[in-house]
Structure 1
């Protein structure tokens, strides 16, 4: 695709170097603060899965996490909002990575990023749950094989990874962005139109209650992705008032959906109580954090270890829940370690496993898969 004036908006003097390198095809400088924010969001979700809810994790602890963490469980319960922060980050990153790429290259980059660790996690969790000493039930062989496609959620089969529902949302976002923006060629006007049409269509879908449209347009998750896209437009030009409007509207709608999904009236019989004010605050902080990165306010957070943190986030997110249950049971119930020590060691063990997956699965397989899916790009580079 030829580069024209409309491919990128006119930059403000303070715009980030990411936009200045887009025309030349050079790699944009890595936003290391975004890597750190990814890991924070993943640790929030881990806190929720280990101590912020009942369910299978209660079996791992031997009692409810409410008993294990009498005070902290109330805060851990807010950790599920790390998913909303992930979606905002995803909107930002996908807009950045999809701008200027042909469809095949975009597909290859997404597939090579998601699939190697995902396949490894599905195989690993299935194998561990199949062990006789593990109390948790493995899915059937047929369902485990289907899980390798990432389509288990819409096809209604048992999930190997509990967190894969978020990947199904991500895949649908990728598809929408690819068809509406990447395929015809990304430019500011097209991206603004994409954000506006998706926002309005999602609201109409919510009002209509049409199930098929809800699956496609994801009204409850759309504002986070759209907000992230708007923040990338601000990354290109902080004076872009339309982009500010996209972010503001997305935040307003996003906090509504978060409160609607997670708030309930105080009830002593429930596991915990999430206050609407705190939910709004966490969603707001997620938008503000990505916004600060987009506007260059956190450019000084450029430490190399943040790149490592970002590399560990995805494999950690995939394996931490189910394999964390097994680790908690071993450390707490069999070895008798205190709850706080077990919690910390479980997080450390899952981060170590994530490093192994990154080192021995992602690093060798991602470039191989990208090259096979997009050989033309490999020859050019």
Structure 2
């Protein structure tokens, strides 16, 4: 389901954003573009599902194990994506970005460049800061003894 939510957002960016910005015509993709304008709802769906996944992933784990499992899950894929994005942006020079400096790249590897006023390599990486805040909240709540049931209830909120 998270894949479906992520794909809804990606298709929306590809089609509807292009229509809004005049890059492609809505007539070119009439069926897809009439649906894809609602792809932004995939972000909400993705975060709701992530709330449950994060709460579930914290069960029966120490704080150290929880953090290690989250880092092991996210950071290698992020490193690969950030590196590929940097190489593509630096070699292809898209109209929306002139390049990525070594400093920007290294700061982005922290996953929270916005905390020190550095732009994300790719704008979509803002979602990682939101996910990291969920992880921090779950880590704090489980450390102070909030139960699984209450975490699941919090995920509904």
TM-score normalised over the length of structure 1: 0.37
Moved more, 98-107 or 158-167: 158-167
Moved over 6 A (4+): none
Q: Secondary structure at the match of 2:118?
A: coil
The higher relative CO (CA closer than 8 Å, separation ≥ 6) is in 1
Identify the residue that residue 54 of structure 2 maps to in structure 1. Answer: 94
Identify the residue that residue 124 of structure 1 maps to in structure 2. Answer: 84
Displacement of 1:45: 1.1
List gaps (5 residues or longer) in structure 1.
1-36, 196-225, 228-249, 251-381
Alignment of 1:2-21 (within 5 A): none
Give 2:15's match in structure 1, choosing from 41, 45, 51.
Answer: 51
Alignment of 1:163-178 (within 5 A): 163-178=124-139
Residues 190, 84 of structure 1: alpha-carbon distance in 2 compared, 3 angstrom cutoff:
closer
Displacement of 1:69: 2.5
| Bigger radius of gyration | 1
Q: Secondary structure at the match of 1:49?
A: helix
Report if the CA contact (8 A) 1:48-1:77 is conserved: yes
List gaps (5 residues or longer) in structure 2.
none
Q: Secondary structure at the match of 2:123?
A: coil
Q: Secondary structure at the match of 2:120?
A: coil
Q: Secondary structure at the match of 1:68?
A: coil
Residues 51, 95 of structure 1: alpha-carbon distance in 2 compared, 3 angstrom cutoff:
same
Report if the CA contact (8 A) 1:48-1:80 is conserved: yes
Quote the RMSD (CA, aligned, Å): 2.4
Identify the residue that residue 141 of structure 2 maps to in structure 1. Answer: 180
Give 2:69's match in structure 1, choosing from 109, 132, 145.
Answer: 109
User: How many aligned residue pairs are there?
Assistant: 155
Identify the residue that residue 138 of structure 1 maps to in structure 2. Answer: 99
Report if the CA contact (8 A) 2:55-2:148 is conserved: no
TM-score normalised over the length of structure 2: 0.85
